[in-house]
Amino acid sequence: MALLIALHILAAVVWVGGMFFAYMALRPSAGALPPETRLGLWRGVLGRFFPWVWACITVLLASGYGMIFLYLGGFAGVRPSVHIMQGIGIVMMMLFAHLFFAPWRRFSAAVDASEFSQAAKYLAQIRYIVAANLTLGLITIIVGAGGRFW
């Protein structure tokens, strides 16, 4: 159980922490760069971050369901906070999948083709989805940290 909890928390920290850094630190700092440089930077950063997100999703699902079914007696044996975390987590995963397979692919293709005005529109879509997912991720962390005390 301890290993599953550690992996679960580590995966959540990497994913949510990466979004926090990107949204709260990198985005404002990159805004001063020329469009070609800024968009290329985001292409590189997100291209390196997204494989980590896929790995985090895999670890979160495996460790979360592992804890539920191996140690907590299935869904009947878990607190409401676990159901809330699962629901929010699934929404976050669906939002990320949409982000990855739609605006991210379009953004990458536009940057690669030097269509920077189009790339900027896709980056704006990505930014909105990341903002939503970051908010959901922070809520999930609060639920995970405090849910046992409800």
pLDDT tens by residue, 82-133:
999 999 999 999 999 999 999 999 999 999 999 999 999 999 999 999 999 9
**What are the residue boundaries of the structural domains of the chain, listed by start?**
2-149
Burial of 84 from C-beta contacts in 10 A (0-12 / 13-18 / 19+)? middle
Task: Give the alpha-carbon dihedral of 61, 146, 15, 125, to 10 degrees.
Answer: 100
In contact, 140 and 92? CB cutoff 8 Å? yes
Measure CA 110 to chain center: 23
What is the CATH code for 2-149? 1.20.120
Instruction: Dump pLDDT digits (tens) for 29-53.
Output: 999 999 999 999 999 999 999 999 9
64-81: average pLDDT: 94
Q: Which two tokens stand for residue 120?
A: 């900027």
Among candidate residues 122, 124, 128, 125, the one with its CA nearest the CA of residue 106? 122
Q: How far apart are CA 62 and CA 64, in angstroms?
A: 6
Q: What is the pLDDT of residue 148?
A: 86
